[in-house]
Chain A
Amino acid sequence: MCLAVPGKITDLHDEGGVPMARVDFGGISREVCMAYLPEARPGEYVVVHVGFAISQVDEEEAARTLADLRQLGVLSELQE
């Protein structure tokens, strides 16, 4: 129910006064309401829940934590 999926904004438009975006989810494109994320721009990644963008992916933070996780893998191999 609280399922939300990250996707990339491909364009922004207005639908009867409601800010909307096309968001690409690994090749599948969907209409997403952007009312709760007015600052997001095309090319950026957003987390989408039931047709609404609810947060912007912090790409720098994501890259840093992923690097930490991969580093952990290297360290545990060294310890084995």
Chain B
Amino acid sequence: MKYIDEYRDEHIAQSLAAQIARRTTRPWNLMEICGGQTHTIMKYGLDELIPARIRLVHGPGCPVCVTPIEVVDKAIEIASRADVTFASYGDMLRVPGSHSNLLRVKAAGGDVRIVYSPMEAVKLARALPERQVVFFGIGFETTAPPNAMAVWEARREGLDNFSMLVSHVLVPPAIRLLLGSPHNQVQGFIAPGHVCTVMGYWQYETLCRDFHVPIVVGGFEPADLLEAVDMLVAQLEEGRAVVENQYVRSVRYEGNVVAQRIVEQVLEVCDRKWRGIGVIPQSGLRLREEFAAYDAERIFGVGEMTAEEPAECISAEVLQGLKRPTDCPVFGVACTPENPMGAPMVSAEGACAAYYRYRRHSIQPSEVA
């Protein structure tokens, strides 16, 4: 496919890796924020192609992974109701709540459906006027415009049987939290290319200034990520710390302003709890008061539910880049994609799932016995 295949060219990847090696004079720790980027790095072994002194640390950019356990419990509670048709992106179905998951609700007869787009959920609401159709609205800034449009469109059409369980998160406050931590070792960030496609990258300039850390907006193919690493290493070696854009074919400085406008009208910034991390101030989006009639938390009275996370799972440290999935005692043993204990093992973008899928061969036999 055009604009994909050429960025998987092995020759280009090798020459970028050679250029990174020529530039590198000392160790650097870099973090890719987005789980999609983690997946590409693992799939193509990019971490093994670049000099060993460049360490790639995986970030929290997996919305499925950071959705709090109580929100999953709320989804389960709503989806279990006889009058509800619950629509979700497929990745959320296996995510463990406190006692169950959405897949088990479906197996027990609940009307849980996987949709590819939030507009399919609106279509369901149109087709099933006797049912309450609830969409599980999770995601980062990339997914906010589609989810906001679904609510916008439901209101325009006067659909009174459509609502959304919203648990949206934002990238810059999470980077700020990581950089402010006394444990932080990350010296440069690859910012998520599709989040920046929507939001632009002006928001990242203050992070560069406040923490003197370089940030490069990166794409998702091997050549994109290697070029982003090369740009970060060049900045670090020269002592620079600015925002640069590697993913120029999709990302503009100001982002998609039309999309931002609808998001602003439907959603507002709020404090948000991240699974494994805790509450990050001003790091989420929720429905604005004027869209309260579409807020599933209010309609189904689940706003007050709380829950504890399982203690065995080290996803908190994995999501903050402090530990690798293989540092976890239950990785690949008690925790697998078929039977996950933590969300990073569920999502195709979760760091644990990426390691399990592409790096299982590197686990010592004694560890899997």
Contacts and interface: CB of A to CB of B under 8 A. Distances in A.
Decide if A and B are genuine partners: yes
Interface of A: 1-8, 16-18, 25-26, 33, 35-38, 45, 47, 49-52, 54-55, 57-59, 61-62, 65-66, 69-70, 72-73, 75-77
B325 interface: no
B12 A72 contact: yes
A73 B15 contact: yes
A49 B34 CA distance: 15
Interface residues of B, number: 57
Nearest to B255: A55
* 9 nearest A-B pairs in the assembled complex, by CB-CB distance: A51-B117, A26-B1, A62-B249, A6-B3, A73-B15, A2-B142, A36-B259, A76-B15, A2-B194
Contacts of A65: 248-249
Contact of B249 (A16, A36, A58): A58
Contacts of A72: 12, 15-16, 19
A48 to B, nearest CB: 10
Interface of B: 1-4, 6-7, 11-12, 14-16, 18-19, 34-36, 61-64, 89, 91, 116-120, 138-140, 142-143, 145-146, 149, 153, 156-157, 192, 194-195, 197-198, 220, 223, 227, 248-252, 256, 258-259, 262, 347, 349
Contacts of B2: 6, 8, 26, 45
Nearest to A52: B146
Main secondary structure of the interface of A (DSSP, over half): mixed
Given A1-B36, A2-B36, A8-B2, A50 B140 contact: no
B191 to A, nearest CB: 12
Contact of A1 (B4, B18, B89, B248): B89
A37 B248 contact: no
B59 to A, nearest CB: 12
Given A2-B195, A17-B156, A54-B194, 20 more contacts: A1-B63, A1-B139, A1-B142, A6-B3, A7-B1, A26-B1, A35-B258, A45-B3, A49-B143, A49-B194, A54-B197, A55-B250, A57-B250, A58-B249, A58-B250, A59-B249, A62-B249, A69-B15, A69-B16, A73-B15
